[in-house]
Amino acid sequence: METPLPTAAPQTWLVWVSELVKHFGQFRALDNISFALLPGSATGLLGPNGAGKTTLLKTLLGFLTFTSGKVSLFDEDVSVAPLRARQLIGYMPENDAAFPGLTGFEAVVLAGRLSGMPREAAFSRAYEVLDYLGMDEVRHRPQAGYSVGLKQKIKLAQALVHGPRLVFLDEPLNGLDPNSRDEMMGLLAGISRSGVALVISSHVLHDIESLCTEVLVLDCGRLLYSGPIDRLGRGEKGRYRARIRGDEGSFIRLVEEGGGRVGRKGHLLDITVPDTRGTALVFDAARQAACQVRELLPARDSLEDAFLRLLGREGQ
């Protein structure tokens, strides 16, 4: 189900990966992976533990040398110019990356300087990014006293300070409480809308579904799917998602008496109707139960359903 890779690597692609293989001794961590990402895209990187997600990110960044294949970022060959490629990319690692003894502001300035920014530009940009992230009141405090949410924001600021067009984020919502998670989701959505391309590795499929339009699915080092999320979901004839206002219990009973099946997906009803009745069964039941059909759409797999299907774990 992979998206076919073009035969040449045009400069319009931000990321170009062709037949990528990475060995750790006899273990093949990445197995013949090929995909390409466009500017401004928001891509979710999915897979179970051990699938190769972090290895892929570190290989794209040039932190790990690969066994064979080709990786091109901004038309720069990572194997030839890894430092140049990294200067154009932001990276938010999963693990804590705090510099001991530094304030949040000093840590962001240091990240800018390490990315090649002049001192004054790094100072100015650090103020801008920390203001955007809502850290203007705490930026001069030592990082040791920061909450998990503030530490995550500092990592994000370090990834953004040099103005990259592409940012890799490894579990950016890890360990956050609900309020901090909502705030981080809003920040990431805003960054994506600004035109910065994002690659987000996460175990939380709902977050990926909310933030991303593209997805890469890995398992055991193999790429199972690359492409738009909306092409991954599978539709089923005669199956609909409906939102009903009124006596829902009577509506469900009437649909089932007419030969349909009714389940629930969140706040929506998941309705399967016989081919002979179609949507007429839904509207007839609503009329008899004195209900309003406020929404009725063909049902498709959620990202979680499609993900489990790709892994061969459908129904779990």
The CATH number of whichever domain residue 276 belongs to comes to: 3.30.70
Mean of pLDDT values over 31-45: 93
pLDDT for residue 264: 86
- Residue 283 pLDDT more than 60? yes
- For residues 87, 216, 29, 56, the Cα torsion angle rounded to the nearest 10 degrees is 10
Q: Are residues 128 and 269 in the same domain?
A: no
Q: What is the pLDDT of residue 13?
A: 83
Q: Cβ(62)–Cβ(82) under 8 Å?
A: yes
Which structural domain, as residue segments, surrounds residue 86?
15-231
195 lies in the same domain as 149: yes
Residue 32 — very low, low, confident or very high, per pLDDT cuts 50/70/90?
very high
Evaluate if residue 96 carries a pLDDT over 60.
Answer: yes
**Average pLDDT, integer, range 103-120:** 94
Task: Give the position of tokens 């006899």.
Answer: 26
Q: Say yes or no: 214 and 86 in one domain.
A: yes
Q: Do 78 and 170 belong together in one domain?
A: yes
pLDDT band at 4 (very low <50, low <70, confident <90, very high): low
Q: Is the pLDDT of residue 234 over 70?
A: no
Band (pLDDT 50/70/90 cuts) for residue 314 is very low
Q: What per-residue confidence (pLDDT) applies to 313?
A: 56
One-character DSSP codes across 275-293: TTTTTHHHHHHHHHTT-EE
Does the pLDDT at position 3 exceed 70?
Answer: no
**How many angstroms separate the CA atoms of 12 and 38, rounded?**
7
pLDDT band at 295; cut points 50, 70, 90: confident
Residue 63 confidence class, pLDDT cut points 50, 70, 90: confident
Residue 145 pLDDT more than 80?
yes
Which run of H or E residues covers position 72? strand 68-73
315 has a pLDDT exceeding 50: no
Q: Does position 129 have pLDDT exceeding 50, yes or no?
A: yes
34 and 95 part of one domain: yes
68 inside domain: yes
Domain with residue 183: its CATH number is 3.40.50.300
Contact 48, 88 (CB under 8 A): no
Question: Does a structural domain hold residue 2?
Answer: no
Last residue of a domain, one of 231, 259, 288: 231
The answer as to whether 311 is a domain residue is no
Q: Give a yes or no: residue 9 inside a domain.
A: no
For residues 269 and 252, the answer to whether their CB atoms sit within 8 Å is yes
Mean per-residue pLDDT of the chain: 87
Please, which pLDDT band fits residue 2 given cuts at 50, 70 and 90?
Answer: very low
CA distance 276 to 260: 11
Pairwise CA distance, residues 45 & 169, whole Å: 10
**Residues 120 and 267 both lie in one domain:** no
What's the pLDDT tens digit per position in 168-213?
999 999 889 989 999 999 999 999 999 999 999 988 888 888 899 9
Does 182 share its domain with 218? yes
Residues 239 and 158 both lie in one domain: no
For 51, 156, 160, 181, 186, the CA distances from 152, given in Å and listed in that order, are: 24, 6, 13, 10, 14
The count of structural domains within the chain is 2
Residue 3 lies in a domain: no
Q: Which of 231, 254, 286 is the last residue of a domain?
A: 231
- 161 plus 271 within the same structural domain: no
> Is residue 59 assigned to a domain?
yes
Final residue in a domain of this structure, among 231, 266, 285: 231
Answer yes or no: is 314 within a domain.
Answer: no
Same domain, yes or no: 194 and 266: no
Instruction: Give the pTM.
Output: 0.76
- Closest by CA to 238, choosing from 222, 268, 262, is 262
Residue 262: per-residue pLDDT? 92
Residue 196 falls within a domain, yes or no?
Answer: yes
**Strands 197-201 and 42-46: what pairing?**
parallel
- Token code pair at residue 141: 């405090």
Is 157 in the same domain as 47?
yes
Residues 251 and 176 in one domain: no
The reported pLDDT for the residue numbered 11 is: 58
